[in-house]
Amino acid sequence: MNSAPELITQARLPRWSLPAAWPMHGAQPMLADLRLRGGRIEAITPHAGVRTDGWSLHGAPVQDLVIMRLIKHLSAQYSAHFSPIVRPRGLNEVSFRTLMMLYANQAGVHASLLSEATGETRTNITRICDELAHKGLLLRHPGVEDRRRVVLELTRKGVMLIERLLPKVWSELERGLRTLNTSEKRDLERLLKKLATAFDTF
């Protein structure tokens, strides 16, 4: 069921974010009316007959809002392409990431480290690992150096599943990011890390 659209009128948007043929009011782009749905811009049209100083979102950091909406949009688009690959196998994004991290560390991973690496709470990671263990995809055993610490590792079934899924996931990822060259990807990674660090320090 589609959610109701969100309407924003008379927004002053930065010139770079507007279509090339966007009409101007003197040296400034005309104000914009936006229709949003699910965090995505469905439509953007010039707000005809309104002076550029008649902005209704007084003081709003529009460029910042555009950046955050783009990040949200990219995340939603990635999930939309990703889910059809893993969902038929009874997985979601978090359970797949859990399997992938265990696959990258086949000697086993402590549950606490897995929680930190995935960004999930320990309670949620425990629930996810319970589900994966029930499906025969991972097993738990006491640690060698500290038997009180539980170590998680993939079963042979888990390894076979992740090896079937990874090429499909990599293909979708590469298809989405091939519009950027190596230098652009490096710059984007640097900027996103900088932004993530800033939000982590709130």
Looking at 39, 55, 83, which one is the last position of a domain? 83
Q: 50-66, pLDDT tens digit by residue?
A: 443 334 444 556 677 77
Contact 137, 156 (CB under 8 A): no
CA distance 118 to 109: 12
Mean pLDDT of the chain: 81
Domain assignment of residue 158, yes or no: yes
Domain hosting residue 100, numbered range: 91-200
Report the DSSP pairing between strands 24-25 and 28-29.
antiparallel
What is the arithmetic mean of pLDDT over 9-21? 74
Question: Is there a single domain that holds both residue 77 and residue 99?
Answer: no
